[in-house]
Amino acid sequence: MADKLIIFDTTLRDGEQSPGASMTRDEKLRIARQLERLRVDVIEAGFAASSNGDFEAVKSIADAIKDSTICSLSRANDRDISRAAEALKGANSGRIHTFIATSPLHMEKKLRMTPDQVFEQAKQSVRFARNLVGDVEFSPEDGYRSEMDFLCRVLEAVIAEGATTINVPDTVGYAVPELYGEFIRTLRERIPNSDKAIWSVHCHNDLGMAVANSLAGVKIGGARQVECTINGLGERAGNCSLEEVVMAVKTRRDYFGLDIGIDTSHIVAASRMVSQTTGFVVQPNKAVVGANAFAHASGIHQDGVLKARDTYEIMRAEDVGWTTNKIVLGKLSGRNAFKQRLQDLGVTLDSETEINNAFAKFKELADRKSEIFDEDILALVGDESVTAEKEQYGFVSMSQHSETGERPHATVVFTVEGKEVRTESDGNGPVDASLKAIESHIKSGAEMVLYSVNAISGSTESQGEVTVRLQNSGRVVNGVGSDPDIVVASAKAYLSALNKLQSKADRVAAQG
């Protein structure tokens, strides 16, 4: 029987650390449900001690998700570890993931600790965590840039204290595949009790090699857990991408010889959900989940694929869930059909009120757009007005006028804590005028660092999906809005970003 490769998803923790990608508890829960549907083995739900919001998110995921192990990150101290254990109480299977930096640079400059102090703290933390839960993962942060002798000493000690998984992060994305693979192999060979733990790889993508490095850690190093995120979301250039690593191991089973428990048919839906929730658009040529990943434009390729699809395709589009781009519903579709489609798409709304809100939104959209695609439905349930969460600002309506030779003008009606406000402004273009109208009332003073428009389902008949990234007092948030009218989508995205700016609690940075 082949070994199993454990898939550890950290979209909700390391992915969320990407500036602007912070998610609300409900958003995290929705994504966790999709990860469970994907049959991800371990879901790192957050960093419970970093904020009350993250504690609540980890707790609700631990309470709701039953088929995956739920994990919380924690620094190597008793307070963080107790907080993680507390948040994980309701889990069927819970894991504490504790970490401390072990590279000379991090120990000296960041922690200001001696190697002996780090050694003691690592040992004590794992001992403390093992008294609370049976499943403890230990990560030597910046492990790949750590000295081999010291790392062996620390890892041998934490395994002796009961760490069940040892994760070796390439925190800054410095590794190259062969060397990283050999690094893991050397650790496993030199540490006498290495067979008492499962070895895990955790690679960042700064040099574009996170997936290659992770796979080398598996193939050369013998690691049996890969830490990854949907769409490769993560700080800087991101983390190892789940969809790529999973499809590589599955498609090249002849080479890797490993089993994987993932239900790949939910990959595209997961990718869309993460992209729509965070506002991080997936590049069209992204492997597996990019819009062009299975599109053949050249005549030679099209001809080949029509004759025999494997001439140019090594995976089947439907195996990763690319069958959803079809007309599913229209104006005459009823609530039951809508509810069923939500279920097929793997969306669970938490209450009848949320389903009713979503259905009302769907009807509104179907009045304006005859063909409703799955992408439209996913965008619609991502809309804040659907969920029961009370937001500070809500979009109501708008009108705008633009004509060649005239300065565009917009009037926007929106709610502030439930009360309607009407504001107007002119601007360089209709979008600029609408956002200025909103800002003239709210006066957030936030700087816009990104504005992007994307057609949800390809054509000009599609809904526009707008991402607005705002920065204020060192915080960065993304707001997403969708509507067939891109000016309205822009106003919704702007209000959504302002809501996030308003609610984002201060967090302790995991790697700070």
Query: Min. distance of Cβ 44 from ligand KIV in angstroms?
Result: 9
Supply the Cα-derived Rg of the chain in whole angstroms: 24
Q: Taking a C-beta distance cutoff of 8 angstroms, is the pair 231, 281 a contact? A: no
CA distance 50 to 22: 13
Phi first, then psi: what are they for 403, rounded to 5°?
A: -150, 145
Please give the torsion angle defined by the CA atoms of residues 146, 150, 156 and 160, in that order, rounded to the nearest 10 degrees. -110
Say if residues 322 and 289 touch (Cβ distance below 8 Å). no
205 binds ligand KIV (CB under 6 A): no
169 binds ligand KIV (CB under 6 A): yes
- Residue from 141, 375, 376, 424 binding ligand KIV (CB under 6 A): 141
Q: Is 204 annotated as a binding residue?
A: yes
Which residues in the 3-22 window bind Zn ion by CB under 5 A? 14
- Check residue 44 for interaction with Zn ion (CB under 5 A): no
Number of amino acids touching ligand KIV (CB under 6 A): 10
Helices of type H across 398-462: 430-442
Q: Cβ of residue 8: shortest distance to ligand KIV, in angstroms? A: 10
Question: Does the annotation list 239 as a binding residue?
Answer: yes
Nearer to Zn ion, 8 or 414 (CB): 8
Q: Which is nearer to Zn ion, 208 or 458 (CB)?
A: 208
Contact call for residue 171 and ligand KIV (CB under 6 A):
yes
Binding residue for ligand KIV (CB under 6 A) from 18, 68, 139, 225? Answer: 139
16 binds, among Zn ion, ligand KIV, none (CB under 5 to 8 A by kind): none
Least distance to ligand KIV, CB of residue 131, Å: 22
Find the binder of ligand KIV among 202, 250, 341, 409 (CB under 6 A): 202
465 binds ligand KIV (CB under 6 A): no
Torsion of CA 237, 210, 379, 343, to 10 degrees: -160
Residue 95 engages ligand KIV in binding (rule: CB under 6 A): no
Element (H, E) at 8: strand 3-9
Q: Is 283 exposed, middle or buried (0-12, 13-18, 19+ CB in 10 A)?
A: exposed
Half-sphere exposure of 218 toward its Cβ, with a 13 Å CA cutoff?
28
Is 202 assigned a ligand-binding role in the annotation? Answer: yes
Q: Binding pattern to ligand KIV, positions 232-251, x when CB under 6 A?
A: --------------------
The option from ligand KIV, Zn ion, none interacting with 141 (CB < 5 to 8 A, set by class) reads: ligand KIV
Q: Which residue in the shown chain puts its C-beta closest to Zn ion?
A: 14
Q: Which residues of 52-86 are buried (b: 16+ CB within 10 A; e: fewer)?
A: ebbbbbbbbbbbbbeebbbbbbbbbbeebbbbbbb
Q: Is 54 in the site for ligand KIV (CB under 6 A)?
A: no
**Residue with Cβ nearer Zn ion (14 or 374):** 14
Strand order, beta sheet including 393-401: 393-401, 409-416, 419-426
Nearest distance from C-beta of residue 254 to ligand KIV, angstroms: 31
Q: What is the distance between the alpha carbons of residues 354 and 389, in angstroms, rounded to a whole number?
A: 10
One of 55, 99, 322, 359 touching ligand KIV (CB under 6 A): 99
Among 460, 418, 421, CA closest to 442:
421
Residues that bind ligand KIV (CB under 6 A): 14, 99, 139, 141, 169, 171, 202, 204, 510-511
Residues annotated within the binding site for Mn(2+) are 14, 202, 204, 239
Residues that bind Zn ion (CB under 5 A): 14
Residues annotated within the binding site are 14, 202, 204, 239
